[in-house]
A and B are shown apart, each in its own frame.
Chain A
Amino acid sequence: MSEQELIEQLKNKESQRAAFKSLVALYERKLYWHIRKIVLNHDDTNDILQNVFIKVWKNIDSFREESSIYTWIFKIATNESLTFLAQQKRRNIFSDGTGNEYLASNLKADEYFEGTEIQRKLQEAILKLPDKQRLVFNMKYFDDIKYTDMSEILGTSVGALKASYHHAVKKIEEHLNGE
């Protein structure tokens, strides 16, 4: 099924439910890992992911097709995740500059983390980055999302994204090497 056909079926009340099931199956894993890399915790990720799909269901009729449905859904997921993080930071009294103590403690306590020690160190280094830069880094390093797609999702120019990624890599390597 092409994206255009999927959109048509999503907007048709009779085929909407079946089309939505296809949409969920198509994007659930990509969206899950995108959100998970932002908020780290599985339970938080699950809540946000379900909220994203509910939002998509409620607003499918107003989807203007100015971007691809993939970009549209990822935008929603990114905004929901960043909003969630902002709420967590407002609840945090102490800050290490990034306000990511909540995430750092999530990482330490996460029963669903099965990486090596160096992978844990990498995650700790990533957490030191500002949220948007962390987002850029994750989308490029782990998901290999094209800069043009990233630009649409994040609303930032390709040039700025490339610069941001380059600086993120430098900071992370310094952290990994104890600098």
Chain B
Amino acid sequence: MKQFKKLIIYTLCTATLVQISGCKKFLDRKPTDVLLDEQVWSDPKLAVSVLANIYNRLQPTGGLEGGKLSPTDLEEAMWSGGLGANNARNTRVNYPYTDKQLWSYDLIRDVNLFLENLDKSTAMQDADRKHLLAEGRFIRAYIYFLHVRSMGGVPLVTNTFQYDGSPDVEGLKVPRSTEAGVYDFIASELDAIKDQLPLTVTSKTRANKWTVLALKSQAMLYAASIAKYNSLMTDPIVLPGAEVGIPASRALEYYQKSLDASKEIIDSKQFALYNENPDKAQNFYDLFTKKTNNREVIWAQDYTLDGKYHDYTVESIPRSLRENATGSAGVTPSLNLVEAFDYLDGTNGSLKIQTPNASDYVYYTRPEDVFLGKDNRMFGSIITPGSSFRGKRIDIQAGVMEWNTATNQYVVRTSPDLGSVFADGGILVAADGPLPNAANVTNTGFYMRKYVDSRVGSGQSGQGSDIWWIRYRFGGILLNATEAAFELGRTAEALGYVNQVRERAGFPANSLQTLTNDIIRKEFQVELAFEEHRYWDLKRWRIAHEVYNGNRQSPNTLINALWPYRVVRPSDPTKHNKYVFVKRVAPRFTQPRLFRLGNYYSSVPQNVINANSLIVRNPYH
């Protein structure tokens, strides 16, 4: 027994000794899974990968990943997917003040760290470093633009802070800058780096001179319209320190800067409207899905099937085409948007579904005939009843209208089953719906086409789609130029820009002869639908609270649906087996949109206000 005890003691001692002495080498090993600061900043390739990480974090509210439901914040689409949490998008009483809130100072710090470390780095060639520094500053300017459009003036932090442990943190507190100050910062940064970036379009996904100008065109237009239209409000939205609100006197200056930037892009001839397909509708769809030789795209967030893909198609593909056991029909376009697209002959886009005195329906031989002559961009953006996708016809039919000869009235026959058949052997409810309260079937009678992938396989959740998200494109720049030129009183010039955009959509040359704000705003709405523009446009024009005024009798507070029905009326061969359309409020959409004055600027997070006494709250919060 004694011997056994000794043995244990010896073993323990040896083990301890071995551990103590062996530690040194073990802890001194270079880590194999972490890169150290000095390693990163001495290798241009590694520095670029830091930048890639930052590029990947630039989509807080829109895009094809986390923000892919953003069209359902507007009158352009609603949620027709699962009945879970996302259904709250159809039933919200008002937009919360935290909506579109952004306070990404972790991201800003990472960019500032990148700039500071790169500046100190000696291992890099001077030209490389200059290029990367300018690229970092472009990204920082873009991030500040994302902040200022959500929050108004935010603290301008252009260096990193190190906390040294002292109780005095006053030096770390930065107050909010004025809203104009942030826009001015963006403009001056962009002017400074414009010529340090590549002049030719080598990449559609990284910064170059033209992405800089595109951002400037957009940011200056936002600043200009806030300056002009905020002061025209009944109660202009301002804070005493001008953290929100831009003086009206600065509007012209900003419009001019925006127009100058747009014109530099237009005059460079580096870009052109995508016009490769004589089928104008297909052409407009291809603009978003074809990556090669696409001269319209200025800056995009790219995806690849080698590991970086998105599930936008899984979520929003038509029900009958879905390749996944769940999902589909998530974001479905509204009739409001469909009717915003004009007819190619220039007439108003509302659909002719009733006779002028509203006594009877208008009967169409094929459901697609009701859309004849509409703007081709509508067919390129939206799957309408009877159009085709992935080579398959998409049938959308809510039921059958059976004529009752006794009462001289139609009786609506429906079924809860997709693809059901009526007593006469014809279709009752089509394979793609619509159904009133089912998940993953369109509720509006339309499906999304823009950005939905036509490649088979892209609807599987394990695979997904590699369609890129276009942040800036030439069509948008032409519209920016239109608005700025019109605001500066140069209507003829403005008409030249907007008519190019319309001609590509199939309108005849010089289709517009006069311009008004409403015409320009409608053009923004239809050309840039689902591209995450309209929310911000309504905000900067200061009409969001009038468009979404919470009154369910206003035209665009509720999501309207268009439900096609087949007529069964053998007694009248001119109407039998024809199609009629019923306009109704989408059944799953219950609450009118209400945009309060406090939604023009999202609330500053409470923990930010608690931590920094210099931060002021946004108005109405």
A binds B: no
Residues of B within 8 A of A (CB): none
Residues of A within 8 A of B (CB): none
